Amino acid sequence: MKVVTTIQALTAEIQARKRDQQSIGLVPTMGYLHEGHLTLAKTARAENDVVVMSIFVNPTQFGPNEDFESYPRDLPQDTELAASAGVDIIFAPSVEEMYPYDGGIRIHAGEQATILCGASRPGHFDGVLQVVSKLFHLVQPTKAYFGQKDAQQVALIATMVRDFNYPLEMRVVPIVREEDGLAKSSRNVYLNEAERLEAPAIYEALQLARDSFLTNGDAENALMKAKAHIAAKTHGKIDYMELLAYPDLTPVTANTEQVLLATAVYIGSTRLIDNCIFNVKEGL
């Protein structure tokens, strides 16, 4: 496995692979790798000749009240983990390498970024799209891999790929779950024993809402059932729960084909996110 830190070195690697007509899988990350990242890398390994993983803590997606400097970083550990998952090239640039100029041009994420998790993080998804766009241009991937756990982020990137005709295939890898259905997350360690027992109710609620919506097509009723389940099974506080057309994140209509059902719930002081994406026709 090679670790490159400059655009010039990355470009040389990519050009060599392109000359050999090799397919390239890209796994964008901010490092401090966990099981979700490694699942993406292993999926990319199975589907491509070459796997490139970016490890870059992107400053443009951090708000003024978010501490970019304290974001966890451990490149030596990440390198070992990436190698174990079959990554061929790690691209780990500095901030100066990725953003040597600022000509003032920006990517605006639009209305999709003003809801769900984006409601409390103005400008966050603008920065996400900026860095992902740069990575797409630099790596020129055949396929790019993202985790479904970050559903709003995935939806925004999918919209950018679709609307701006990026020549790649987006692969969305399903959420990795514990045996009881709880979505795996580094935040789960903050749950005490009682909270951990309540947390699986979040996924149970999503399943109830999904089944209800597929049965009768009533979004409001589906959400009501899910919220009632969380209220009955947990002491949690719902931050949001929405059922939206995917990937546009607009209200569901009669023409909607794919749906995102997403929620964020505070179990104790721990904010847990979860979602499911499904086709409307699954209920027919």
**φ/ψ (deg, to 5) at 129:** -65, -35
Amino acid, single-letter form, for residue 62: F
The Cα 127–Cα 120 span in angstroms is 15
Question: Does 184 belong to an annotated binding site?
Answer: yes
Is residue 78 part of an annotated ligand binding site?
no
Does 147 appear as a known binding residue? yes
Catalytic, 235? Answer: no
Q: Does the annotation list 36 as a binding residue?
A: yes
DSSP string, 133-154: HHHHHHH--SEEEEETTSHHHH
- Residue 239 annotated as binding site: no
Strands 237-245 and 169-173: unpaired
What's the rounded Cα separation, in Å, for the pair 172 and 158?
A: 10
| 132 annotated as a binding-site residue | no
Sorted by sequence, the CB contacts under 8 Å of residue 83 that are 6+ apart come out as 1
User: Is 150 flagged in the annotation as binding?
Assistant: yes
Q: Which residue has the tokens 């901030």?
A: 95
Instruction: Determine whether the annotation assigns residue 186 to a binding site.
Output: yes
| Gap between the Cα atoms of 165 and 168, Å rounded | 8
**φ, ψ of residue 245 in degrees (nearest 5):** -65, 140
According to the annotation, is 130 in a ligand binding site?
no
Neighbours of 193 (CB within 10 A): 6
Would you say 185 is a known binding-site residue?
Answer: yes
- Which position has the token pair 């998952």? 85
Nearest to 43 by CA among 178, 147, 150: 147
Instruction: Report helix, strand or coil for 223.
Output: helix
Confirm if 157 and 123 have CB atoms less than 8 A apart.
Answer: no
| 37 annotated among ligand-binding-site residues | yes
**Annotated binding-site residue? 236:** no
Kindly state the tokens that stand for 220: 């409001």
Find out whether 42 is annotated in a ligand binding site: no
127 in a known ligand binding site: no
Residue 166 annotated as part of some ligand binding site = no
Which of 37, 108, 124, 235 is flagged as catalytic? 37
Kindly list the catalytic residues.
Answer: 37
Binding residues for beta-alanine: 61
Binding residues for ATP: 30-37, 147-150, 176, 184-187
Please enumerate, by residue number, every residue annotated as part of a binding site: 30-37, 61, 147-150, 153, 176, 184-187
> What residue numbers does the annotated binding site for (R)-pantoate cover?
61, 153
